[in-house]
Structure 1
Amino acid sequence: MVQESLAQGTKNMAPGHDHESHSAAGMLGPLLCWAVVFADIGTSVYYTPGILYTSVQSLAGFFVFLTMSVFILLTLKYAEITHRFPQGGGVVTVAAQALNPWFGAMGGMFILVDYFLTAAISCLSGILYLSVIVPAIGPPYALWITVGIMVLLGILNWVGISESAKVSFAGAVIAFLSDIAILVTVFSHLSFPEFLALFPQMFAGHSLNAGSLLAGFAGSFLAFSGLESISQLSPVMKQPHKKVAGIALLLVVITVGLTSPLLTMFSTLLLPKAAADPHQSSQIISLLAGEFGGPVLRAEVAISACALLVFASNTAIIGAYHVFMALSRMDFLPPIILQRNRLRGTPHYSIMLATGIPIAVLIAVAGNVDILGDMYAFGLLGAFTLTCFGLDIVRTKEWRATNRALKAIRHASPANSPEVVAVEAHDLQTSHVAPAVPRAHTALMHADLVHLPQPKTLWFKIDFTLGVLTTLLVSVAWTTNLITKPLATAFGGGVAAVGMIVAYLNYSSRQKQGQVPVPVVVTQLDSLPGSILALMKQDNPTNDAVIHAAIHAADENRPVTFLYLSRQQPRTEAPRMMEIIDPYLDDPQAKEAFGRAENLALKAKIPNRRYVYLQTTPETPGQIWQYVHPYDTIMAIENEEQLKDINPDRIRYEITPEGKVAHLLKRW
């Protein structure tokens, strides 16, 4: 949170917010965000009923209704993620910052498994729906037509044709209206008593026990795959993120809630023979439309479903190659992943992997939609679980940070009573009246309290409890699928294991080169009285001297914070859909400096070390010094202006082989 306060005080650009410099005209509002997410989630209903029917038969609709409640809780967490992590990345970013980068890498492997299967099953389902009106392209030719379409999608991405949110909007509106048309047509053929009779019909011949309830609950999450795409839209989302994402996801909940559970229930109960047929189950929504609305509605649904499913396949390819690139920028995958071709400037190796792996999966399962659906559970629920758990960790840390901030105010206030502290905290939250603490310290503390939750409020407790409950429910679903869907576990676990092995080998290779990837780089500071603050700057030749001096000064009782102040200019090109924007990952100087510091810290066996990256102006060091309260601030003294707002007890100079640095010593 400290970078936001620095932005207020010095008008600097905070990490992760560089996209705000772009024209708002290129950003997505609530309707376009809804369209992109619904164009992903909305496609699941085309293949979910048939896949669920093979395992739970007539209970498919019941389990989709049941899981809908957890889906609503998930949207609350994902809405928060979009504004907490504006750089995008979803599970990769959340897990990396909440836990450590290795969990971010694992989350990346989970979401890649999800993207691979989404690309494969969506494209194949699209061709199968088209075969409703063009039977000649059905099995056994559907597989090879699907492979050809996916090759074409890969070529289009190599050429550089990016996805348009306006196209998503058109597709989402057509799909939603088609779904509503089917529901209206079905209701026009059913009396109200006949409709009510469908509910007990779902349970006829079934006895629910704990095992079957868990299995059905876990398997029906397939109906809501695609929610994770909202977190990938953060870099292209209009401000304020919280409001835009909240409205978009409210629209998603309404539109998905109106269509998916009812369409699943109607298709499996009213067309049981089609749901049980391996070929027709892949076209069941179009067949439902034809059964009650005639051939015209059947053809319209088949065509719109085909277009939207192929579009969803392309979205998955785009998401996958951006995750590949993010993992490479995080030093978990080889740098060759980032290479761009000279002709089009697109990351051809990432695109090849994002397209080639789903094609290989399609061929391996011989184009069987049911097998693809059975394999889906691992990556989707693994990503949901890790994302939810990561957000819970972030909330817990902020809860503790709030308490630390309040204690710091209590310590700094001349009137040290709880009543004064309570008034000060209220003022900071509402009227912007600052307590009697130093000006820069006040600004930083003000920003912390404005953006951190107040743990004593009822809403915070409810929100936190619901968040933990969501994590538990999703974790139960994932654990259940690990046991009940061995194929999904084998495939997803195998892909994730291979990916993590590659990440480990790449990490080891960089270690041997002396460029050790840093465990965690954060973009906010904590108040650490008595610590050592090693302050590095962009393009400063004495950064190595600062690192060595900090390593020599460190001991078990004084944590070391390596702080890199960047003047990196905001990017001029607008971010693309699904792109992950992170100024630190795009700053090779900072990554190299932190890598050298981590390598030396490991050799010196320094246990307590932190790495912080901020984009700042020259006035920032003084504000940081007053906020952190370090015992020893190590920096290169270029001019006296740098000591503004810094009042050490004494200054000690140290000459190292890399240059001269100053130790600004202060006992607070």
Structure 2
Amino acid sequence: MKDKTPVSEARPNTTKVVVASTVMLAFISFWRAAAIVLNDLGSTVYYVGGIAEQAIGRSAPWFILAVMLFSFAVRSIYMESSSMFVRGGVYVVVRDAMGPFIARLSVSALMFDYVLTGPISSVSAGQYLGRLANETSELLHLQFRLSPNYFAVFFGIGVTLYFWWYNIKGLHESSTKALRIMQVTTVMVVMFLVWCGITLAIRGPAQMPPAPTPANLQFSDEGLGWFKGTLWPTIPVVAIIIAFGHSLLSMSGFETLAQVYREISYPKLKNLYRTGNIVCAYAVISTGVITLLAAMIIPDSVRLQYAENLLGGLTNYLVGPELIRLAFHMFVVIVGVMILSGAVNTSIIGANGVMNRVAEDGVLDPWFQKPHRRFGTTYRII
């Protein structure tokens, strides 16, 4: 009688592969990663110059430029920390180093930043667009007017829902929108650099920002905060630190670099290095240099009138026909609406990355990590 080979022995030797992931695998290029970070970081060029000048005086552009150069050092820290094979996200890393209370505090602070960034940016974009609509209506001698504040609320809700849906679809979809926004923004930045250069060559600077020395710092009451009425601001080193701190707003959004690192395509470290260099170089040119050019071209007596939209004010003082400057002004405002809206996308991506790491660390219930049936994303966290 012929022996029968057991079924278990007849099966060929196979290797079982288990993908330890709660979502479908999808990676993005370093260009897309840089665009996501710059959608938030790059938007500060519109307002950081005015805010910093209100707080510390006319030396603000130099401090903003210094912060942008300082971002290269921060980039190096992100690269070093991201290259370490340390299990878990921010919660586990901080918990193991400093305890559970500080870990919860760290996650809460990071989430607080992301939660505030989205609404503030979208509402600011809505106000830009609402005011542009009123300005256009006035130029055309129309009676149409709308309330920028009310319009900004509905616009912000719409933008948030729009990017929420694209993040449900996946990072590749939302990063495409970020990349398109930065392509248009780059056109605006190049036009500013060329046009400002021509203006300075023809007219010369209206003034030069004073050197960033303690003697030239003029702190407002809000700028001093708790230091008001104390001796601390009179100490040169402390005064420089305070001024530098007020300028750190220009680096807002840089922390998203650590969240998108996992999504960068192979080779990760090399592409992370490229992403960091692109982000830092772009920030130096767009935020640092253009803010300095605005301080040189816009007269000191009127510059603070454009504190909320420094680039919009800069278009009024460039050389050239008024009609062309008006068209460029409208283009600048529209780009501002786009990049501020893109900051909502950045905040959603950053918050989603943090919450996914927290869920993987076992802090959140596994229910939150259930993937979307169609797109494979953690839609319950988004």
Q: In which range does the TM-score fall when normalised by the shorter chain?
A: 0.7 to 0.9
* Residue type at the aligned position of 2:334: I
Give the equivalent residue in structure 2 for 1:311: 342
Please tell me whether residue 48 in structure 1 is matched to residue 19 in structure 2. Answer: no
Secondary structure, counterpart of 2:52 in structure 1: helix
* Residue type at the aligned position of 2:276: L
Residues 51, 207 of structure 1: alpha-carbon distance in 2 compared, 3 angstrom cutoff: closer
Please tell me whether residue 276 in structure 1 is matched to residue 307 in structure 2. Answer: no
Verify the 8 A CA contact 2:45 2:291 in the aligned structure 1: yes
Verify the 8 A CA contact 1:37 1:230 in the aligned structure 2: yes
Secondary structure, counterpart of 1:58 in structure 2: coil
Residues 165, 45 of structure 1: alpha-carbon distance in 2 compared, 3 angstrom cutoff: same
CA RMSD in angstroms comes to: 3.8
1:374-425: per-residue Cα shift (whole Å, max 9, x none)? xxxxxxxxxxxxxxxxxxxxxxxxxxxxxxxxxxxxxxxxxxxxxxxxxxxx
Deviation of residue 65 (structure 1)? Answer: 1.8
Alignment partner of 1:180 out of 190, 195, 203: 190
- Write 1 or 2 for the structure with the bigger share of helix: 2
Verify the 8 A CA contact 1:290 1:296 in the aligned structure 2: no
Deviation of residue 121 (structure 1)? Answer: 2.1
Write the distance in 2 (CA, Å) between the matches of 1:97 and 1:172: 38
Please tell me whether residue 123 in structure 1 is matched to residue 150 in structure 2. Answer: no
Deviation of residue 301 (structure 1)? Answer: 1.4
TM-score by length of 2: 0.73
Deviation of residue 332 (structure 1)? Answer: 3.5
Give the equivalent residue in structure 2 for 1:57: 57
Verify the 8 A CA contact 1:328 1:335 in the aligned structure 2: yes
Give the equivalent residue in structure 2 for 1:301: 332
Residues 57, 12 of structure 1: alpha-carbon distance in 2 compared, 3 angstrom cutoff: farther
* Residue type at the aligned position of 2:132: I
Alignment partner of 1:291 out of 304, 312, 317: 317
Deviation of residue 87 (structure 1)? Answer: 8.1
Structure 1 gap segments, 5+ residues each:
1-10, 352-668
1:577-610: per-residue Cα shift (whole Å, max 9, x none)? xxxxxxxxxxxxxxxxxxxxxxxxxxxxxxxxxx
Secondary structure, counterpart of 1:200 in structure 2: coil
Give the equivalent residue in structure 1 for 2:286: 259
Deviation of residue 147 (structure 1)? Answer: 4.3
Structure with the bigger RCO (C-alpha within 8 Å, sep 6+) is: 2
Equivalent pairs, count: 333
Secondary structure, counterpart of 1:95 in structure 2: helix
Deviation of residue 64 (structure 1)? Answer: 0.6
Secondary structure, counterpart of 1:238 in structure 2: coil
Once the two structures are superposed, the pairs formed by residues 368-407 of structure 1 within 5 Å of their partners are none
- Write 1 or 2 for the structure with the bigger share of strand: 1
- State the identity as a percent: 20
TM-score by length of 1: 0.44
1:175-197: per-residue Cα shift (whole Å, max 9, x none)? 12212211221121113994495
Residues 104, 335 of structure 1: alpha-carbon distance in 2 compared, 3 angstrom cutoff: same
Write the distance in 2 (CA, Å) between the matches of 1:348 and 1:50: 38
Give the equivalent residue in structure 1 for 2:244: 217
Moved more, 198-207 or 163-172: 198-207
Deviation of residue 111 (structure 1)? Answer: 1.0
Deviation of residue 169 (structure 1)? Answer: 1.8
Residues 155, 78 of structure 1: alpha-carbon distance in 2 compared, 3 angstrom cutoff: closer
Write the distance in 2 (CA, Å) between the matches of 1:335 and 1:239: 28
Deviation of residue 100 (structure 1)? Answer: 5.1
Structure 2 gap segments, 5+ residues each:
1-14, 135-144, 219-235, 319-323
Please tell me whether residue 39 in structure 1 is matched to residue 67 in structure 2. Answer: no
Secondary structure, counterpart of 1:42 in structure 2: helix
Verify the 8 A CA contact 1:87 1:234 in the aligned structure 2: no
1:125-161: per-residue Cα shift (whole Å, max 9, x none)? 2123223521245533244234433553476368646
Give the equivalent residue in structure 2 for 1:148: 157
Residues 154, 101 of structure 1: alpha-carbon distance in 2 compared, 3 angstrom cutoff: farther
Deviation of residue 294 (structure 1)? Answer: 0.4
Give the equivalent residue in structure 1 for 2:112: 113
* Residue type at the aligned position of 1:284: L
Residues 86, 294 of structure 1: alpha-carbon distance in 2 compared, 3 angstrom cutoff: farther
Verify the 8 A CA contact 1:127 1:138 in the aligned structure 2: no
Write the distance in 1 (CA, Å) between the matches of 2:182 and 2:331: 14
Once the two structures are superposed, the pairs formed by residues 472-551 of structure 1 within 5 Å of their partners are none
Verify the 8 A CA contact 2:256 2:346 in the aligned structure 1: no
